[in-house]
A = this chain, B = another copy of it.
Amino acid sequence: MEDVIRSLGYLCLGSRLKRIGEQLQADAQRLLDGLEVPLQSSQYPLLAALDKLGPLAVGELAQSLGLTQPGVTRSVSLLAELGLVEAIQSDGDQRRRVVSLTKKGQRLVDVAKRDVWPRIESAVADLCRDLSGPVLDQLAAIEDGLATAPLDRRVKQGARQ
Contacts and interface: CB of A to CB of B under 8 A. Distances in A.
Interface of A: 1-25, 27-28, 30-31, 41-42, 45, 48-49, 52-53, 60, 63-67, 115, 117-128, 130-143, 145-146, 150-152, 154-155, 157-161
A2 B152 CA distance: 27
Contacts of A67: 19
Nearest to A127: B145
8 closest A-B pairs by CB: A133-B133, A14-B24, A17-B21, A18-B21, A27-B151, A123-B154, A14-B25, A10-B124
A143 B13 CA distance: 13
Nearest to A41: B14
A128 B10 contact: yes
Given A13-B24, A14-B28, A24-B17, A127 B142 contact: yes
B60 A1 contact: yes
Nearest to A4: B49
A66 B21 contact: no
Nearest to A120: B11
Contact of A154 (B23, B118, B127, B133): B127
22 contacts: A1-B60, A4-B52, A5-B65, A8-B45, A10-B136, A11-B48, A11-B124, A14-B24, A15-B42, A17-B21, A18-B18, A18-B25, A19-B21, A19-B67, A23-B146, A30-B150, A31-B155, A120-B155, A121-B159, A122-B155, A131-B138, A133-B138
